[in-house]
Structure 1
Amino acid sequence: MTTTGAYREAAGATTRGHGWWERRRGVVLDVGLALLSALECALEGVQFAGDTGLPVPVGVVFGLLAGAVLVVRRRWPIAVVLVAIATTPAQMGFLMGLIGLYTLAASEVPRRITAVLMGMSFTGTFIVTYVRLRQSVAEQADFGRDDWFVPLMSLFMSLGLTAPPVLFGLYIGARRRLMESLRERADSLERELSLLADRAEERAEWARTEERTRIAREMHDVVAHRVSLMVVHAAALQAVAPKDPAKAVRNAALVGDMGRQALTELREMLGVLRSGEPVAAGAAQVPLASVGRSAAAVAAAAAADGPRLHEVETLVGESRAAGMTVELSVDGEARPYAPEVEQTAYRVVQEALTNVHKHAAGAKTWVRLAHRDAEVAMQVENGPSDAATADAGLPSGGNGLVGMRERVLGLGGVFVSGPTDAGGFRVSAVLPDRGAA
């Protein structure tokens, strides 16, 4: 709930049971004004009774009843103005007329009705004032020389009793409507800001999740292949050490080289991650702009510093050194591609070879690359595993194929994987050429 909405609800809770008044102070104000108006009309009713020959109590009661009508000015402002107009000939209800016209002009009553009632009040006041002034001035000997005085004074008095309350009421009504419009606009803006904040938090959380997924995929690609080869060489080292010490030495050297390469790639990746914009440790929230810039910077740097397609031959050589029978064939003329295309192609071949080491040790493997007009295709296929070869015992998290598919589909490519009729496994991917580097 918005702050303004909560305030209105609290205000409404405090004003229940007060009729048509919105606030308790409105009740006090209207009752006080009604008492003053009733007292005024009662006093003026004494003179009215003397002028008309009615009993004084009748004039007082009539004045009290007429003046008390002011208590309903907020609910029925038209009725209050009509009573004030009706009592104008009796020269009573001046306070009721002023406040009634002000309330009428400030209310939501159509302006045509306000104008009509103002005209009636002006006319009644003008007539009564004119008659009273004419009678008063007629008693003076020089009345004939100043015949313009009565209508002019009547006009001024009538305007003074009708125009100011109406103008002030129009101003207050316009100001009230403006404030209400501003409150509604503030409520709307607050709701929009709350919605935008929720969406921003969702987008920030999505960006953080995507970044964590991408980092996990990169770590998997970098570590899994090297460590898999190290495990294979370690197993071979254990097997040949008693029989062929020279070969054991070579395998140990290969294990050391691969470990150093894995550490080098890990350091490069961590350096790329650190090069992004720093995020304060322990922060409860990360601004969306910072998350977006950091993710974009890390992704761009990782793509620029990552492996290239021409390094696939070295990758195949490492697998051959680990004892795998691998054939590499390249169709078409090699050319440079966008960094993210080359890196994705390299990672697909790398992960496919890693899976062969894990799940099909000793199987013959074919790696095919095809450079076409608007795309580059790669395929890694292995035959059935040699049953006589012991399994390397490498753990599998089940993320290899998922990561490859995400990479390829993220660039708008096609990814297919599955078993072959010969009992092996095939991984195929086609990546569009996104422009030469």
Structure 2
Amino acid sequence: MFFSKKIKRVAITTVAAVSIFSCGAVFATTPVNADTTSSYQADQVKLNVKSAIAIDSDSGQILYAKNAAQTLPIASMTKLVTVYLTLQAIKNHKLSWDQKVKPTAPIVKVANNAEYSNVPLKLGHSYTIRQLYQATLIESANGAAMLLGQTIAGSQKAFIDQMRAQVKKWGIEDAKIYTACGLPNGNLGKDAYPGVNKNAENTMSAKDMAIVGQKLISAFPEVLETTRLAHLNFKDAGHVTKMANFNWMLKGLSQYDQAYPVDGLKTGNTDAAGACFIGTVQHNGARLLTVVMGARHRDGTDPARFEQTKKLMNYVFTKYRPVTMTAGSQMNGAKTIKVTDGDNATTNLGLKNKTTIWDPADGKTLVASLNKKSVEAPIKKDQTVGDYQFKSGNEKIVSLSNPNGMNVKAKALSANNKVNFFVRIWRWIFGGR
């Protein structure tokens, strides 16, 4: 059984200082260092999965991690990279939503294999990019994902090479990608990636998958308009395939719970991968992104990956309070910075951008510090002058990009011009600022 009772929301007003106190901790907190972020707070909730992670989708703040750096098969979660490259091609006017394309014989063979999730594409029939995109995200249609890749790159191999290049741009170095859909390489027949074992599967870590989800939502938030759909019809020359989303946590499906109103993103499973799910939900003005990999998968009716996701989301909702601070907000203890050779000795600082910090509900004060003590004049208003880092008591707030902390940009709230040469000489001789 899982908590279905709504957690009481704590109204938090953020002003010039950041100071938050909880009404009492439910879970203990553990000091963090760079060596522990791959299993950050893993002992605080027992998940029956091989690996997992929970992050803030915008900042990448790590809220939980279990074996998050371990590379494992990702199955159909692969399709999020395919979808990213599809949306990118549309943005760059290389594809259009209403463009019609025809599948090749190898794609048709995959698309009509009843052992795989699919919509039954037909040889000689035409399908719009929009249809294929929707089928890829909702029905997890393998043939549709392959046809998107074929259209973008001209061949399956060329598209896989694009996928590999894209994840490397995101800093993902340990991924192995062989198929656009997530099936094992040999299942694609003539479209298998050449020179690779037929049993080879796409692999990433939970951390890698969190980065994929983060990049997709950041660049193309409209993807959530499709991933939130529980049902949709796929029409093909008078024949209708009723698509049902494999994300059973959506409203109207079997694992829906109003306490966790998810609106994406993607499931995946193979024999090697077990059951996987990357999910996302808005909570108190912030967006949470979770990944569970290697959950139990007895058969096609097993809800284990969603049960484990609910446990993870419940932990995050109970353990943390998201605090959103507007651009320009000043941080207590780091309101100013010394300015060398400036008209003024110091310059007032504030947040560069709107920022959300998930504050641990541990009764400790959330405080900020700046990564430098001084800057050189001249300083322009709104110029980035350093990075804030945050702590809750002695616990560092850490992120995907920085396991030793989470850098949040600080800006100058006013200009500070550089004094002329004679004033600098005067100050050097007689002292003063």
TM > 0.5:
no
**TM-score normalised by structure 2 residue count:** 0.19
Structure 1 or 2: more strand by fraction: 2
**TM-score normalised by structure 1 residue count:** 0.19
Larger radius of gyration: 1
Structure 1 or 2: more helix by fraction: 1
